[in-house]
Amino acid sequence: MTPSWLEAHASYIDSSRTITPDQLTFNAGSIDHPVLLKVPIIPTGVCKDSTPLTVEITVANDISIGQGSDSDIGYGVSDGTRFIGFFTTDKGNYGNQSPCYGMEGVSGSTLTSTRYEPNKPKPSESFYPGQFVFTLKLDERWGSCYTAHDGGFVRTAGYNNRLTLSKGLTLEVYKEDKIERVGIRYIKVTIKRNA
């Protein structure tokens, strides 16, 4: 999903954006925890609530922004009510936090009732990778995040909430604070039905 594809297919996209062929950039805004982007990926009524699905989300963030600016971003999926996913931090947080860790909350114009998984352990390397791979096992309420740190750094997460898949599924992106700047180069979503 390129920046122009995301802009064309979004059911919601924040007005603070600028777009080039290579990047979708969201600038500082006026509220904390705002939704930046919502893209429908499964329509209402296609899945049963019990359908065993795995969603894999691969994202590439702008490395220069992640290395030098406040740029904390949450990626995940929602049934329109609940959101589950992962929070990614910028390099400024790597002194005491993991580059990614699980998060869930109530979906909307802002993410509310947010619960974060513990933000440790942290990798020994502190470069900003840019690319993250998130795997969400929706029927198991479990997920993982992978980065290139330490030859392959993995964080797992357990979620309290289970999504109601019959309501459909939407890719959602949030940022942490209003002052933050976010640069997204691409997002790839793969959905598999578990055996």
Nearest alpha-carbon partner for 12 in 56, 78, 62: 78
Domain of 92, CATH number, reads: 2.60.120.200
| Domain total of the chain | 1
| Residue 100, beta-bridge partner list | 88
Domain that holds residue 151: 3-193
Tokens describing residue 11 = 């059911």
Closest CA to 156 of 177, 134, 178, 139: 134
pTM: 0.94
pLDDT per residue over 132-177, tens digit each?
Answer: 999 999 999 999 999 998 888 999 999 999 999 999 999 999 999 8
Residue burial 180-193, b: 16+ Cβ < 10 Å; e: rest: bbbbbbbbebebee
Give the model confidence (pLDDT) of 12-51 as tens digits: 999 989 999 999 999 988 899 999 999 999 999 999 999 9
